[in-house]
Amino acid sequence: MNQFITGNLKLEIDDPTLEARLTFTPDPEGTEWKSEKILDLLNEKGIKEGIDLDALDEFLSSSSAERKSKEPFSFIIARGTAPVDARPARLKIEHLSIPGELQKLDPVRAIAEKTSFSSYDLYSIFF
């Protein structure tokens, strides 16, 4: 649908509440506003996330009676999410005990028992 509304549009950004509000004043000689143009306006102002597309569609598809009214009306077009305070990374080093059944193992002896070194010369073992 190519819905549009004609009039003057004002964008207000409230930093503390992280809300962007559009205030529209109908004017037959004003600007023709389509969704693409409104989204471009939001993008120019740095609003790229949290846009309420349903509210935008409802705004553009408002009834003829509402459009003929000269009274301005406003709605929240976008809401942001407050940032979370960053916490520094923490490294926790713990000394872990070796389980009893692993303490009994001797890895060098286990390898030596499984390997017959008689078939190797020292050069092939180390190089």
Residue 77 burial class via C-beta count within 10 angstroms: exposed 0-12, middle 13-18, buried 19 and up: buried
Measured torsion, CA atoms of residues 53, 56, 58, 60, in degrees rounded to the nearest 10: -140
pTM as predicted: 0.59
Is 50 exceeded by the pLDDT of residue 65? no
Is 90 exceeded by the pLDDT of residue 66? no
Degrees to nearest 5, angle at CA 93 with 88 and 99: 150
Confidence category of residue 125, pLDDT binned at 50, 70, 90:
low
Confidence category of residue 28, pLDDT binned at 50, 70, 90:
confident
Question: Would you kindly state where each structural domain of the chain is located, as residue ranges?
Answer: 4-79
